[in-house]
Amino acid sequence: MEINPGSSLREAVTQFYQQHGFPVDGGINAERWSPFGCRDLKVYLPNFAWRRKAIPFHDLHHVLTGYPLRPSGEFEIAAWEFAAGRYPNPLTTLFCIPLLSMGACLVPKRTFSAFVRGKHSKTLYAGWSYEQLLDKSVAQIRAEILPNGPVSAKPRHYLEYLVLVACSACVIALPFLALYVAFSEIV
């Protein structure tokens, strides 16, 4: 999606939602269920309070970083967000962390590059008012949160990434391990 850097974030995020077939507010004001999707796949998820707080900023991150709304882009944005700063809620962290190991398996170079870029960036999750951000230009916020040029990985980034991917794999494996233990007790 091509975003005009001179446009306001309000215009850019509206364009983002329209292009992907989401309601103008991204579904955040839906009382019970809101859309979640990549490309043509749309799934409706419970619209918990923690999700309503995180999704507007997450969607702005897509607009600002250019990571697309498709599975590989979700892996990239998750890696970028984990590296750039903390999620606003532990449940948001738990919801997004599985994306890291999926990205490490399916698009490893892109996911690691996004992680390194995130290490040189800041998220919008802390210290920003969503409504005030919408009136700022895309270029202005990009200059404030993204690196102004190419970045390279430092040795510590490899270790940090591996630890995060290992945590992600554990989160994915935990329910399966619990089921195995539960069923092995029965049999």
Residue type, 54: A
pLDDT at res. 20: 75
Contacts of 90 (CB under 8 A, 6+ apart): none
The full set of domain ranges for the chain reads 9-186
**For the chain, what is the mean pLDDT?**
86
Residue of 51, 70, 72, 155 lying closest to 114 (CA atoms): 72
Candidate ranges 13-17, 35-39, 42-46, 165-169; pick with highest mean pLDDT: 165-169
In this structure, the number of other CB atoms found within 10 A of the CB of residue 159 comes to 10
Q: Could you please report the per-residue DSSP string of 12-61?
A: HHHHHHHHTT--TTTTTT-SSEEEEEETTEEEEEE--HHHHHHHHHHHHH
Cα 42 to Cα 107: distance, rounded to the nearest angstrom: 22
Could you tell me if residue 27 is left (phi over 0), alpha (psi between -120 and 50 degrees) or otherwise beta?
Answer: left
Beta bridge mates, 137: 8
What integer is the mean pLDDT of 60-87? 93
Q: How far is CA 75 from CA 41, 58, 69, 100, 125, in A?
A: 16, 12, 10, 6, 18
Q: Is 37's pLDDT higher than 80? A: no
Say what percent of the chain tops pLDDT 70.
84
Amino acid symbol at 160: E
How far apart CA 81 and CA 70 sit, in angstroms, is: 16
Q: Could you give the 3-state DSSP secondary structure of residue 8?
A: strand
- pLDDT at position 39, please? 54
Task: Convert the pLDDT of each residue in 95-114 to its tens digit.
Answer: 889 999 999 999 999 999 99
Q: Tell me the CA end-to-end span of the chain in Å, nearest whole number.
A: 53
User: How many residues appear in the chain?
Assistant: 187
Has residue 187 got a pLDDT over 80? no
